Amino acid sequence: MRVSTTMYVKGVPGRQRGFSLIELMVGMVVGLLAVLVITQVMTLAEGRKRTVSMGADAQVNGALALFAMQRDIAQAGYGTAAIPEALGCPTQYSSSGGSGTFTLAPVVIVDGGANDASDQITVLQANTTNFSAPMGLTENTVNPPTTATPFKVASSLGAVAGNLMVLVPLTNNSTGTARAAAWTSTLPCSVFSVTDDSGSATTALTSTQIPHVNGTGVRAWNQNSVFPAMTVEGDPTVLKSVLLNMGAMVRRTYSISAAGSLQSADLSLTDGSSPAATELYPQIVMLRALYGKATGGGTNPPINTYDKTAPTTNAQWQQVKSIRIAVVARSVQYEKDAVTVNAPVWDVGGSATGTIAVTGASSTLAGCSSSSACLKLDVSTLVGADWQHYRYKVYDTIVPLRNVLWHS
């Protein structure tokens, strides 16, 4: 009989076994699958978060951009619309920093063209500390006016040294009972600056005299070359040519930059130069605008047409009663898939095909409701070939030109 000689010592465990290679591989596969699922969930959640947050930023930028232009357009025409016969006058200026011509109108739209580029909107308004009232001339002046000859007015109330003023050539109408536009392309309006030198009777600002002596600083605006060959007549009993007090004149142009931002540029009051544009709100990729015109007859007819055709006569400028604008805001988030199938559209409402005509509007555009008419907003001009991988939001409003309406 064989006796086992194996000895067991108390407290010492027997042989231990670990995981096999197959078990390790199965565990790693399960772990990797879990990591993959978690990663996909986190990636999807983070993508949704970026889409929402970037979309919110675009909405804020779009709303602020629309508000900024709406505020300026609502104030446009102050100081100029008080004399309806002045609207549309080609106005020339010259100063130490530059010279040029602009249209004496509350809002001027520059069409972006057939390639659906963004429009430009230029707003003009007076900016005075008190008020802006037109000043009728009461005496003839030299032909042409010079900076050495002050303008004689019925009252200079509201004028102070440094104010910019616009000389508007007007005349009697055919019956001699009211004023009428006398300005033409060869007889334009002129910008000058008010001066006040008490050392001389002809250079002092008085209650009935507006001097405009040449010099430096704001006086650099006073150039004989801006005054055309004309006889500026005045009559205390029959209103004729007038001076419009523009104060610290605001002439601001809104446009879309190459980087896709709403930008603005103001005519410099220091020297008449055009400084570089200032970017206001990012991710604004398109700006479109329309004139709201009341072309019907009668007294104060309603607006019946929206288009981008620039008026060319005083009568046509007096028909412009509102401005309709739209901006397209783009989310900065690039999406892997094409999330915008059709180009954004500007819904101008069902009235576009009824009593109010909107030039170019159609109810057959992709993405437009069958009960409305829309204008296509081709954002590919600025965004590029991958425009469909971004999300867009259209903001629009109608801004009445209240200064024009109050003086209609």
Of residues 156 and 172, the one with the higher pLDDT is 156
Kindly give the residue spans of alpha helices, DSSP state H, lying in 12-138.
21-75
**Predicted confidence band of residue 184 (pLDDT cuts 50, 70, 90):** confident
Task: Indicate the range of 47-61, 84-98, 163-177, 280-294 predicted with least confidence.
Answer: 47-61
Average pLDDT, the chain: 85
Say if residue 286's pLDDT is above 70. yes
**One-letter identity of residue 357:** A
Task: Indicate the range of 3-12, 66-75, 253-262, 273-282 predicted with least confidence.
Answer: 3-12
Q: Are 107 and 401 in contact (CB under 8 A)?
A: yes
Residue closest to 335 by CA, chosen among 45, 44, 51: 51
- Total number of residues shown for the chain: 408
- Enter the pTM of the model: 0.84
Of residues 51 and 197, the one with the higher pLDDT is 197
Q: Are 226 and 192 in contact (CB under 8 A)?
A: yes
CA distance 80 to 246: 8
pLDDT digits (tens, 9 = 90+) for 11-20: 555 566 677 7
Residue range 42-51: mean pLDDT, rounded:
67
Residue closest to 55 by CA, chosen among 393, 397, 338: 393
C-alpha 149, offset from chain centre: 38
What pLDDT was estimated at residue 368?
A: 86
What pLDDT was estimated at residue 73?
A: 95
- For 228, the token pair is 């055309």
**Predicted confidence band of residue 131 (pLDDT cuts 50, 70, 90):** confident
Task: Indicate the range of 34-38, 308-312, 401-405 predicted with least confidence.
Answer: 34-38
**Predicted confidence band of residue 384 (pLDDT cuts 50, 70, 90):** confident
Residue range 142-163: mean pLDDT, rounded:
86
Q: Which helix (H) or strand (E) holds 405?
A: helix 402-406
Q: Which whole-number Å values give the CA distances from 285 to 103, 260, 327, 338, 374, in the listed order?
A: 27, 5, 8, 18, 18
Residue range 379-385: mean pLDDT, rounded:
84
pLDDT digits (tens, 9 = 90+) for 295-347: 887 777 889 899 989 999 999 999 999 999 999 999 888 888 888 888 899 99
**Predicted confidence band of residue 48 (pLDDT cuts 50, 70, 90):** low
What pLDDT was estimated at residue 86?
A: 93
Residue range 102-121: mean pLDDT, rounded:
88
**Predicted confidence band of residue 228 (pLDDT cuts 50, 70, 90):** confident
Q: Are 212 and 222 in contact (CB under 8 A)?
A: yes
Q: Are 342 and 307 in contact (CB under 8 A)?
A: no
Q: Which DSSP letter does residue 118 get?
A: P
What pLDDT was estimated at residue 40?
A: 80
Place of tokens 């979309």: 55
Handedness of CA 17, 23, 28, 34 (dihedral sign): negative
Say if residue 236's pLDDT is above 70. no
- For 10, the token pair is 């108390």
What pLDDT was estimated at residue 274?
A: 85
Say if residue 375's pLDDT is above 70. yes
Task: Indicate the range of 13-17, 65-69, 374-378 predicted with least confidence.
Answer: 13-17
What pLDDT was estimated at residue 124?
A: 96
pLDDT digits (tens, 9 = 90+) for 191-220: 999 999 987 888 999 999 999 999 888 899
Residue range 229-242: mean pLDDT, rounded:
66
**Predicted confidence band of residue 149 (pLDDT cuts 50, 70, 90):** confident
CA distance 268 to 275: 7
Task: Indicate the range of 67-76, 204-213, 227-236, 370-379 predicted with least confidence.
Answer: 227-236
CA distance 172 to 120: 35
Say if residue 376's pLDDT is above 60. yes
* In the chain, % of residues over pLDDT 70: 87
